[in-house]
Chain A
Amino acid sequence: MGSIIHKPDGGKIIKTNCFECHAKCGALCHVDSKGRLVKVEGNPEDPRNEGRMCPKGRAAINILYHPDRLNYPMKRVGARGEGKWERITWDEAMDTIYTKIMEYRDQFGPESIVNAQGTGRGTNQWNQRLGNTIGVNHWLAPGHICLAPILVTSLSTIGMVTNWEGADLDRSEVQVFWGSNQIWTEQTYTSGGVNRGRDRNVKLIVIDPNFEHPLAARADHFIGLRPGSDSALAMAWIHVIIEENLYDESFCKRWTTAPILIDSETLNPITEDKLKATGKKDTLVVWDRNTQGVQPMDDHHLKPELDPELNGYFEIVDLNGEILKVKTAWQELRERAAKMTPEKAARLCWLEPKQIYDSARMYAKAKSAAISYFQGLEEHTNSMHTIHAVNTLMMITGNLDVFGGNMWPMFWNHMLSDRLTGRPTDPKAAEKKSNPFKLYVASHPQQVFETMLTGKPYPIKMYLGIAGNPLSWSEQPENTKKALLNLDFIVVMDYFLSPTAQLADIVLPSAHWTERDYIADEQCGRWYFAQQKAVDPLYERRSDVTFIRELGHKINPEMWPWQTDEELFDFQLEPEGVTYKELKDKWIHEHTPDVEKKYEANGFATPTKKAEIYSTVFQSIGIDPLADYEEPLESPYSEPEIAKDYPYILVTGRRYPNYYHSQYRGIPYLRELAPEPRVMINEGLAEELGIKEFDNVWIESPHGKCMMKAQLTNGLHPRVISIPHGWWQGCPELGLPDYPDFIANANNCITHKKHDKNTGSPGSRSSLCQIYKA
């Protein structure tokens, strides 16, 4: 039947995928005989969303036809930001952009041109390829607050990214939502498992500071912890699981780095070459119970005769006959966890010890348990330890890549492969990247803004941003604006004239998902989908991929040999043995079968082929190799002096089901569901401070402030304040205002100077603040 169903009245239904979030629900687009999109609904044939669709997807028509959309390329004619534009042709736009790139590259080097984006959603690889084509892949993206800390920490330690679609909710006995509200933000792969879970009385644990989380009231355990204290809670869970012998001993011995021997003092791993002349430099060793001696750790094909000891201290003799004091990595983890008793964690997390004992036991005793975690763990200044600690929980309970646990979605291991992103054409690209963080993959946004401002260590001249709005997402947006205004040339491609686009010299009109061809790949689990257009692009809107490809081709046709988007997609799909045309015909393509324990074939995708409770990658670059409790950089415990004046903990980025980041406050149907930014305050606290419902309230940190309307709730701890992000756009049709000059920008309150020392994530969800009536 194909993926386009023709109706007798001349209309048609196109099977495609929504693009309003990363997870890309299967969608049915109904087009009438005149070629107008008249209805968008979920596609029941998508095994993930099964026909369900969120408000953003259901509003696709409203977004496609909205009168404020950008429709033509335009160039600035007035002063920067003045709002005077002149329509130009695509040819002129492309020639100008190309000429500027070549000019700056010749004169100042490729590092002077910044390629930028927002959430990506299918263009990460192409934007990076463009950066590499220019020479230096700055890839200025909000990765430090989304994806990058989880991606890098998880790929380094467990060789998979399993916290999103990997959480096998449908087959789990226990579902854990930890800093994750995916039933709102990415219901695609969440709702089916949750809904059927309700029917089969699945056990539910919600760990979140906000009781207004849509699943909190249904949970067996609602753990309303202090924002940013998640690593303490995770270590306390590990404590309970180890002390009560609830861990999967066989998995820990066979499939993790827990038994490896490490130096008792330095924690460096003992390698075989230190012990004997014929020993290999890369081979780690374990204490074998059968031979009562040191043996090389096996690779993934475990020798049955080997029985590694998990616990203990040992004295072993090295090559030179000297005695080495060693212990197992497990012993070190155990000692760290021993320090974090549930009683201590309860004090740090503002919980009761019983909650910690009971929830830890519920998670560990289940035959299978899945943890969905997300930005609630990531947007803190201690994200690396927190993420590693939660991944460690999956490892020690053997919940990794098993049905009902956290499965291995293979896509993430290939998304940014060199084959797709290409390699940087500038041989010195690596040293020209702006990035002080060992676990941040590209140029760190705040480092780039700093370079834009100071011209050090090199001048930046141009910003080329595709579907991104850093004046909303970046910490200290005023600073970001100054940085951008320091540049000679700014190009922004978007749906609407965002605050960032308003500063541009050239703006380009982006085609909506209903009017462009893409591949739906990211967060699509075991499948690829043909995200095909339902209507031809309106006006002169173009697909982001088309723009990137054509610009890339102009700069370096060898890196971009493809004449059409279809050829580019064929290239992406090559390893699958399917062409884009074939994909379009069938719409859905399964790339990974539904099997568990894939690691049994070739091990985990880590250097040791084990799930690395002890991370050899971290150790090799001077980062703490094991999970641990770490306090956020700005908390009542790490900065008690600041906390005297700023006694509350601020969570920014509270989500809506009807908006995506800074998008769509201009769409009437969506705006009327949440007409204004509201700060959530505990009722008792509000009374104490004389704040009433709907009062204008300043939320102020040591770094800045923003204003929102008060929303009183019992759903928050009296010392926690929660605000949304992304408010800039007005909705003239409803007479609802815009928010100019960052007045309601949550990021005013977040410093751009304090980040997790390894991943570079800021304290977006655990900063100190005070609030008062405006």
Chain B
Amino acid sequence: MKRKIRYTLLIDLDKCVGCMSCTIACKNENNVDPGIFWNRVYKVGPEGQFPNLDMFYFPKQCMHCNDPLCIKVCPTKATYKTEEGIVLVDHDKCYGCGYCTWACPYGARTKNEKKGMVEKCILCAHLVERGEKPACVVSCVGNCRVFGDINDPTSEISIYLAEHSDSAFQIHPEIGTKPSVIYLKPRKGAAKLCQSNTR
């Protein structure tokens, strides 16, 4: 039986250097309007007293949940999930009611007022379809992004995850949307900051 593909993004927070290359790569790849971000990099910290501090950068985008709330609330079925696990918005069906932007626990969706519809990270599905990687992954200066089929134990992402499984976590899994984006905790300089996120 053919194994089902599940595309997943892994972000190693130990390596993110906060350069925002992912943000620009995304915007130019997908022609995202100014003021709207499909991914962004947040700075967490510095926390503590100089010079004994914690800090890390935190890139955030759609979590491509396995059981996403955005799909449940969408009145027009514009939001859907592909067989490979990518959550997309059909812009022919979306009329911008914005319910999904309220439902998403990760704040990953933005209503484009000008276009009258909702936008978000598409994991560069058009590139993935032809065997390429998402633009943010290719561009990443810190090599902190690993992309691939998590169901394939020989994929780069599965191997990377296996090597670092002790530091892997997901954002707010308790909500129950089964986010597919996996983060790795920084191995140094963020122990205190990470406590609240890992439960």
Using a CB–CB distance below 8 Å, which chain A residues touch chain B?
39-42, 51-55, 58-59, 61-62, 183-184, 187, 191, 194-195, 198, 211-212, 214-220, 222, 224, 657-658, 668-670, 672-673, 682, 713-718, 733-734
Q: Which residues in A have their C-beta under 8 angstroms from that of B95?
A: none
Q: Is B18 engaged at the interface, CB distance under 8 Å to the other chain? A: yes
Q: Is B190 engaged at the interface, CB distance under 8 Å to the other chain? A: yes
For B139, give its contact among A58, A224, A714 (CB under 8 Å): A58
Q: Is B116 engaged at the interface, CB distance under 8 Å to the other chain? A: no
Q: Which residues in A have their C-beta under 8 angstroms from that of B169?
A: none
Nearest 3 pairs between A and B by C-beta? A217-B189, A657-B19, A224-B51
For A191, give its contact among B18, B138, B142 (CB under 8 Å): B142
Q: Is the CB of A59 within 8 A of B54?
A: no
For B34, give its contact among A54, A211, A658, A668 (CB under 8 Å): A668
Closest to B25 in A: A58
For B23, give its contact among A39, A55, A215, A218 (CB under 8 Å): A55
* Per-residue interface assignment for chain B, residues 158 to 188, with 1 indicating a CB less than 8 Å from any chain A CB and 0 otherwise: 0000000000000000000000000000111
7 A-B pairs in the complex with CB atoms less than 8 angstroms apart: A53-B21, A211-B53, A214-B17, A217-B56, A218-B186, A222-B51, A734-B35
Q: Which residues in A have their C-beta under 8 angstroms from that of B46?
A: 211-212, 217, 713-715
Q: Is the CB of B19 within 8 A of A734?
A: no
For A42, give its contact among B14, B43, B139 (CB under 8 Å): B139
Bound Cα distance from A670 to B57, whole angstroms: 18
Contact (A55, B24) CB under 8 Å given A212-B46, A217-B188: yes
Q: Which residues in B have their C-beta under 8 angstroms from that of A673?
A: 20, 23-24
Closest to A59 in B: B24
Q: Is the CB of B47 within 8 A of A657?
A: no
CB distance from A737 to the nearest CB of B (A): 16
Bound Cα distance from A52 to B146, whole angstroms: 13
CB distance from A476 to the nearest CB of B (A): 31
For A59, give its contact among B28, B141, B188 (CB under 8 Å): B28
Q: Which residues in A have their C-beta under 8 angstroms from that of B53?
A: 211, 216-217, 222, 714-715
CB distance from A678 to the nearest CB of B (A): 12
CB distance from A229 to the nearest CB of B (A): 14
CB distance from B176 to the nearest CB of A (A): 32
Q: Is the CB of A214 within 8 A of B139?
A: no
CB distance from B148 to the nearest CB of A (A): 16
Q: Which residues in B have their C-beta under 8 angstroms from that of A212?
A: 43, 46, 55
Contact (A218, B188) CB under 8 Å given A211-B53, A211-B55, A714-B53: yes
CB distance from B62 to the nearest CB of A (A): 19
Bound Cα distance from A669 to B38, whole angstroms: 13
For B55, give its contact among A669, A715, A716 (CB under 8 Å): A715
Q: Which residues in B have their C-beta under 8 angstroms from that of A41?
A: 25, 135, 138-139
The size of the chain B interface, using a CB distance under 8 A, is 40
Q: B120-169: which residues lie under 8 A (CB-CB) from chain A?
A: 135, 138-143
Q: B37-53: which residues lie under 8 A (CB-CB) from chain A?
A: 43, 45-51, 53
Closest to A187 in B: B141
Q: Is B15 engaged at the interface, CB distance under 8 Å to the other chain? A: yes
Bound Cα distance from A212 to B51, whole angstroms: 11
CB distance from A344 to the nearest CB of B (A): 19
Bound Cα distance from A423 to B6, whole angstroms: 65
Bound Cα distance from A438 to B51, whole angstroms: 38
Closest to A221 in B: B51
Q: Which residues in B have their C-beta under 8 angstroms from that of A717?
A: 50-51
CB distance from B45 to the nearest CB of A (A): 7
Q: Is the CB of A714 within 8 A of B48?
A: yes
Q: Is B29 engaged at the interface, CB distance under 8 Å to the other chain? A: yes
Closest to A658 in B: B20
Contact (A39, B28) CB under 8 Å given A55-B20, A714-B46: yes
Q: Which residues in B have their C-beta under 8 angstroms from that of A657?
A: 17-21, 141
CB distance from B11 to the nearest CB of A (A): 14
Q: Which residues in A have their C-beta under 8 angstroms from that of B64?
A: none
Bound Cα distance from A53 to B139, whole angstroms: 5
Q: Is the CB of B50 within 8 A of A215?
A: no
Bound Cα distance from A53 to B47, whole angstroms: 29
Q: Which residues in A have their C-beta under 8 angstroms from that of B109?
A: none
Q: Is the CB of B17 within 8 A of A658?
A: no
- Label chain A's interface by main secondary structure: mixed
Bound Cα distance from A211 to B53, whole angstroms: 8
Q: Is the CB of B34 within 8 A of A187?
A: no
Contact (A52, B28) CB under 8 Å given A211-B55, A668-B34: no
Bound Cα distance from A54 to B135, whole angstroms: 12
CB distance from B21 to the nearest CB of A (A): 5
Q: Is the CB of B25 within 8 A of A215?
A: no
Bound Cα distance from A187 to B18, whole angstroms: 12
Q: Is the CB of A61 within 8 A of B25?
A: no
Q: Which residues in B have their C-beta under 8 angstroms from that of A224?
A: 50-51
Q: Is the CB of A53 within 8 A of B48?
A: no
List 18 other contacts, CB 8 Å, given A214-B19, A222-B51, A717-B51: A41-B25, A42-B138, A52-B21, A53-B25, A55-B20, A58-B28, A184-B17, A191-B142, A195-B143, A198-B15, A198-B187, A212-B43, A217-B56, A217-B190, A222-B53, A672-B35, A673-B24, A734-B34
Closest to B36 in A: A672
Q: Which residues in A have their C-beta under 8 angstroms from that of B45?
A: 217, 714-715
- Residue of A55, A62, A669 with most partner-chain B CB within 10 A: A55
Bound Cα distance from A670 to B28, whole angstroms: 11
CB distance from B106 to the nearest CB of A (A): 20
For A218, give its contact among B14, B19, B48, B140 (CB under 8 Å): B14
- Residue of A58, A194, A669 with most partner-chain B CB within 10 A: A58
Q: Which residues in B have their C-beta under 8 angstroms from that of A715?
A: 45-46, 50, 53, 55
Q: Which residues in B have their C-beta under 8 angstroms from that of A218?
A: 14, 186-189
CB distance from A356 to the nearest CB of B (A): 13
Q: Is the CB of B55 within 8 A of A187?
A: no
Q: Is the CB of B189 within 8 A of A219?
A: yes
For B47, give its contact among A184, A198, A714, A734 (CB under 8 Å): A714
Q: Which residues in A have their C-beta under 8 angstroms from that of B189?
A: 216-219
Bound Cα distance from A184 to B18, whole angstroms: 9
CB distance from A26 to the nearest CB of B (A): 13
- Residue of B20, B25, B51, B139 with most partner-chain A CB within 10 A: B51
Q: Which residues in A have their C-beta under 8 angstroms from that of B43?
A: 212
CB distance from B192 to the nearest CB of A (A): 11
Closest to B135 in A: A41
Q: Is the CB of A183 within 8 A of B19?
A: yes
CB distance from A715 to the nearest CB of B (A): 4
Closest to B16 in A: A214
Closest to B29 in A: A39
Closest to A185 in B: B19
Bound Cα distance from A748 to B66, whole angstroms: 55
